[in-house]
Every structure is written in C-alpha cells, then in structure tokens.
C-alpha cells in the first residue's frame, strides 16, 4: 500500500532563506504517516489497543528545496518488518514536476503500554504489513 498526502507550503513553513525549514519536513512526513495509518487501520482500532508505536530512528536525506506555494506530496509505505520493529519509506515530491525533495526511512517499534516494553507484532498486523510490502516487490 502506498499512501499519498498533499501539503501546500505556507509562509509559516519557511525560514530566513525563504525555503522550507529542515525541521518542517519532519512534520510533513509525520502527517504522511498519520494519513497512512488512517487508511491502513480500521477505525483507528489500533489506538484503542494496548499498543503504541514510538519512532526510534529517522534517516532523512534532503534532495532539493521547497518554496512558498509549492504543492508537496508525501508518499508513505512499509518497506521492512522485523520481530518488534518496522520501517517505512517516505518520499516528498513536488507536484506536478515529481522532483524529489526529501527521502526518509522511519523506524518505530511495537510497544506495549502495559508491559512498558517493545513486544513482537501481533500476527494479524504482521500479515497485513507483509502483504503491503509484497505489493511493491
């Protein structure tokens, strides 16, 4: 599954150099992840469970700048699942040129609030993720 979320660059996204500040890209990819989860999970039932999904690593590469008025598309998909961790690939492109602005890999863990520890993914979740990953291979 690939989720595509569009964001229009506003004045408050800009820094002194009049391009999108690097910290804003983290917010953009987070918005992309939330949109992905809205589509991937049924009725946010995952938020009702004992589980939370803390981010433990982000690797981000800045490829080109974005400016006021640009329409950006955040593309989000799962790429790898381990026993307790999962990685998403997120790419931000400019619409309509498809110029890559940012590429990021985001890793998070399946964390039990009750156990206060990372735990193995539930089988039903693992199967859905594996199917999602296989769709791109």
pLDDT tens string, the chain, 137 residues long: the values are 899 999 999 999 999 999 999 999 999 999 999 898 888 877 656 666 788 889 999 999 999 999 999 999 999 999 999 999 999 999 999 999 999 999 999 999 999 989 999 999 888 888 988 998 888 77
Could you say which of 15, 38, 45, 50 is catalytic?
A: 15
Tokens of 109: 């863990």
Q: Which domains does the chain have, with CATH numbers?
A: 3-134 (3.10.129.10)
Q: What is the pTM of this model?
A: 0.89
HSE, CB side, 13 Å, CA atoms: give it for residue 56: 12
pLDDT of res. 25: 96
pLDDT of res. 50: 81
pLDDT of res. 88: 96
Q: What angle do CA 32, 73, 71 make, to 5 degrees?
A: 125
Contact in structure between 73 and 33 (CB atoms under 8 Å): no
Q: Does the annotation mark 15 as catalytic?
A: yes
Q: What angle do CA 130, 136, 137 make, to 5 degrees?
A: 85
Query: Closest by alpha carbon to 31, among 78, 76, 96?
Result: 76
Query: Closest by alpha carbon to 92, among 114, 122, 70?
Result: 70
């Amino acid at each position: 599954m690939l989720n595509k979320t569009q964001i229009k660059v506003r004045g408050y996204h800009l820094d002194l150099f009049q391009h999108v500040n690097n910290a804003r890209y983290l917010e953009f990819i987070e918005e992309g992840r939330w949109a992905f989860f809205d589509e991937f999970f049924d009725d946010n039932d995952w938020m009702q469970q004992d589980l939370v999904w803390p981010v433990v690593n982000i690797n981000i590469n800045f490829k080109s700048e974005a400016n006021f008025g640009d329409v950006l598309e955040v593309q989000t998909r799962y790429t790898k699942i381990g026993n307790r961790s999962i990685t998403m690939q997120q790419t931000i492109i400019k619409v309509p040129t498809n110029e890559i602005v940012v590429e990021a890999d985001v890793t998070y863990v399946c964390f039990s609030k009750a156990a206060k520890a990372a735990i193995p993914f539930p089988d039903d979740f693992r199967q859905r993720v594996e199917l999602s990953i296989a769709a791109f291979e």
